Amino acid sequence: MDWGMSNRISRMIKPSTGHSVMLACDHGYFMGPTRKLENPRKTIEPLLPFADTLAVTRGVLRTSVDPKWETPILLRVSGGASILKEDLSDEEITTSMKDAVRLNVTSVALSIFVGSNHEKQSLVNLSRLVDEGEEYGMPVMAITAVGKELEKRDAKYLALACRLAAEIGVQIVKTYYCENFSRVVDGTPVPLVVAGGPKLNTEMDVFNLVHNALEDGAVGVDMGRNIWQSEHPVAMIRAIRAIVHERASVKDALQFFEDEKKGKGVESHAHV
Ligand code: 5RP
């Protein structure tokens, strides 16, 4: 692997632990002003010290992220559909590699919609992005999107979608956690991170998801709503960091979350 590509990956997936906590704040590209992400800067700023990577579009990057902040950027470069459409799969590449380089981002991300009306379009778009990424040393993340069909989040479907992305040549895949997730990991010869999906009922549900995904072989999370839609987003991301980077148990993460909530945080859990 070329030095630039390898260096960018090391900035996102921490070599000290081999894991990563990515903060996903790119929802507005098709969902508009998502609850608790209406003002992106307000949501992002307090969480950034605890994120290994921030996922945003170029619009949010330029308007709402201070260029002096050092967190690596995962730039969403696909779009073209909005939440108003029944079929969200009709996406194209919306940001050029040239602009990604100009923005000095660490990686680019594009959704693929396997099994959808626009399956071929999204896979060909991904191939083009990977070609350009190889040219510039820019890692590409494929996101195995399911649109509104959340029931697609099972091992059979996700193993297929993740493997297709790996075969096209991406450096990393973002997918969903599911039952038998190790089957998805085993069939995908590149690192996987998991999204959180819509907000879960309890913190314990979120910590279980993260813990189980890591146990099954994910290198980390690229999570949004379950962090910033929480009443205690900083405590939430810090507890997730403890699981991802320190292999904290769910019980310890819950205790850590409760302590952080009450302002009794333990210093040893600070940014790894
Ligand atoms: C938006 C995305 C999100 O980045 C991804 O779904 C992760 O966020 P969440 O944890 O809220 O699901 O791809 O399209």
pLDDT tens-digit readout, 13-59: 999 999 999 999 999 999 999 999 999 999 999 999 999 999 999 99
- 179-197: average pLDDT: 97
* Ligand 1 atom having least distance to the Cα of 111: 13
* The residue to which tokens 């085993």 are assigned: 186
Residue 220 placed within a domain:
yes
- In the predicted model, what is the mean pLDDT of residues 137-142? 98
Indicate whether 172 pLDDT > 80.
yes
C-beta 147 within 6 A of ligand 1: no
- Structure pTM? 0.95
Report CA(227)–ligand 1 centroid distance (Å). 11
Beta carbons within 8 Å of 40's beta carbon, 6+ residues apart: 25, 28, 56, 60, 63, 64, 65
Cβ neighbours of 52 (radius 10 Å): 25
Domain total in the chain: 1
Task: Give the range of the structural domain holding residue 65, as residue numbers without chain letter.
Answer: 3-227
Rounded distance from Cα 103 to ligand 1 centre (Å) = 22
In a domain, 135, yes or no: yes
Q: Which residue of the set 42, 174, 199, 262 is catalytic?
A: 174
Find where tokens 């959340």 sit. Answer: 150
Residue 269 included in any domain: no
Residue 184 to residue 156: CA distance in whole angstroms: 8
In a domain, 236, yes or no: no
Q: Which atom of ligand 1 is nearest to the CA of 223?
A: 10
Which residue, 195, 196, 188, is CA-closest to 174?
Answer: 195
Is 253 inside any structural domain? Answer: no
CATH value at residue 112: 3.20.20.70
Q: How far is the CA of 195 from the centre of ligand 1 (A)?
A: 6
Active site residue 174: yes
Domain contains 238: no
